[in-house]
């Protein structure tokens, strides 16, 4: 990635804002291990910071290294994941820990190709680990960063569904040459998008970019009309799967989920489909016998 030839004043403003306003999060502590950063990035993929932080703290005190997690029983790992959602991430994290032990002596590698070869690590997470754990210059483009750049530089109300090559190149050109500033820009633009430049109600009055923001200068067009990409939740398979996982996390013996009173409102067809998918994902184990019972 070629270094930015000159730091953009908007990038400087975000870095200065982040130095003042950054939330004090444990995975931002300079003493946090690369493993701790990796765990935080996996947890934060689909879950907000306030829900992740207590789980991360408990997780790291219980399994402070990849060796510890690799040796833990999967049922304990799924229980500790609790209500973070998308529990396949917990299973993949345990698999990732096992590969770290096997290939890297339990350490997290810093090279992009080695990170991408780990289970559950995609381009975003690999770059985030490089930036936040190792201070490498990297393009860390989550939806918050895309929204800030899209608005402040290109007067675009919301990011498109898919990242384009032009967008990636523009984002890469903004990353400062110094690794320290690059890390502050990456974390700061993400924080600004999470706290101030939010999707539907940006708080432009509190934003360090207000005077320079292209979207504000254009009269803040297009946000009301932009389609909402909200996912229905109640009654979905994802919700039913979540309820089943919660029942199993709290149970101290295998559960007959097919006739469980807490799932009475779920149609048998949906119940069977959700159970089959949990078993197929390796999150739930079916015990033989009649009735069939299930456990983590």
**Catalytically active residues, by annotation:** 41
Distances (CA, A) of 281 to 98, 284, 293: 18, 8, 17
Residue 3, CA atoms < 13 Å, CB-side half-sphere: 12
151 binds ligand SF4 (CB under 6 A): yes
Distance (Å, whole) CA 178 – CA 275: 50
The distance of closest approach from Cβ of residue 151 to ligand SF4 in the complex, given in angstroms and rounded to an integer, is 4
Identify which of residues 130 and 151 has a Cβ nearer to ligand SF4 in the complex.
151
- In whole angstroms, the minimum distance from the beta carbon of 186 to ligand SF4 comes to 16
Q: Which of 148, 175, 187, 284 binds ligand SF4 (CB under 6 A)?
A: 148
- What is the nearest approach in angstroms of ligand SF4 to the Cβ of residue 147? 7
271: three-class secondary structure by DSSP: helix
* Total residues interacting with ligand SF4, rule: CB under 6 A: 13
Give the separation between CA 8 and CA 24, rounded to whole angstroms. 26
- CB of 222 vs ligand SF4, minimal distance in Å: 12
**Shortest distance, CB of residue 193 to ligand SF4, whole angstroms?**
8
Residue 42 exposure: Cα atoms within 13 Å on the Cβ side: 26
Nearer to ligand SF4, 52 or 196 (CB): 196
The full length of the chain comes to 296
Piece of 36-44, 53-61, 145-153, 164-172 that binds ligand SF4 (CB under 6 A) = 145-153
Looking only at residues 168 through 227 of this chain, which bind ligand SF4 when binding is defined by CB under 6 A? 196-197, 202, 204, 207, 209-210, 213, 215-216
| Nearest CB to ligand SF4, comparing residues 70 and 194 | 194
The closest of 280, 158, 285, 296 to 228, measured between CA atoms, is: 158
100 vs 145 by CB, closer to ligand SF4: 145
**Residue 1 or 19 having the CB closest to ligand SF4:** 19
Q: Are strands 293-295 and 285-287 parallel, antiparallel or unpaired?
A: antiparallel
Residue the block writes with tokens 């907000």: 48
Q: What's the closest the beta carbon of residue 173 comes to ligand SF4, in angstroms?
A: 18
Number of CB atoms found within 10 A of residue 243's CB: 17
Point out which span in 47-55, 60-68, 105-113, 148-156 binds ligand SF4 (CB under 6 A). 148-156
Q: How far apart are CA 177 and CA 2, in angstroms?
A: 8
Q: Residues with Cβ < 8 Å from 68, sequence gap 6 or more?
A: 62, 97
Nearer to ligand SF4, 213 or 257 (CB): 213
Report how far residue 145's alpha carbon sits from residue 10's, in angstroms, rounded to the nearest whole number: 13
Query: What is the C-alpha to C-alpha distance for residues 278 and 274, in angstroms, rounded to an integer?
Result: 6
Q: Which residues bind ligand SF4 (CB under 6 A)?
A: 148, 151-152, 196-197, 202, 204, 207, 209-210, 213, 215-216
């Amino acid at each position: 990635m070629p270094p930015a030839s000159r730091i953009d004043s908007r990038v400087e403003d975000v870095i200065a804002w982040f130095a003042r306003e950054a939330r004090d999060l444990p995975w931002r502590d300079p003493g946090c291990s690369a493993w701790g950063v990796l765990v935080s990035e996996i947890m934060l993929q689909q879950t907000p910071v306030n829900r992740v932080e207590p789980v991360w703290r408990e997780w790291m005190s219980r399994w402070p290294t990849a060796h510890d997690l690799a040796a833990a029983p999967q049922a304990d790992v799924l229980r500790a994941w609790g209500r973070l959602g998308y529990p396949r991430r917990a299973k993949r994290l345990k698999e990732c820990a096992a590969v770290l032990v096997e290939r890297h002596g339990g350490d997290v590698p810093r090279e992009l190709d080695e990170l991408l070869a780990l289970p559950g690590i995609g381009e975003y997470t690999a770059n985030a680990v490089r930036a936040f754990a190792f201070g490498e210059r990297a393009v860390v483009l989550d939806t918050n960063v895309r929204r800030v750049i899209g608005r402040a530089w290109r007067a675009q109300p919301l990011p498109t569904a898919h990242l384009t090559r032009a967008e990636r190149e523009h984002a890469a050109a903004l990353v400062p040459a110094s690794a320290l500033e690059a890390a502050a820009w990456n974390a700061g633009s993400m924080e600004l998008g999470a706290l101030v430049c939010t999707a539907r109600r940006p708080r432009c009055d509190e934003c360090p970019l207000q005077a320079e923001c292209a979207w504000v200068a254009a009269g803040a067009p297009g946000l009301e009309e932009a389609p909402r990409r909200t996912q229905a939740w109640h009654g979905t398979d994802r919700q039913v799967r979540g309820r089943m996982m919660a029942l199993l996390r709290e149970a101290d013996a295998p559960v007959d989920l097919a006739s469980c009173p807490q799932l009475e409102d779920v149609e048998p067809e949906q119940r069977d489909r959700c159970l089959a998918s949990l078993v197929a994902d390796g999150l739930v184990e079916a015990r033989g016998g009649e009735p069939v019972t299930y456990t983590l």
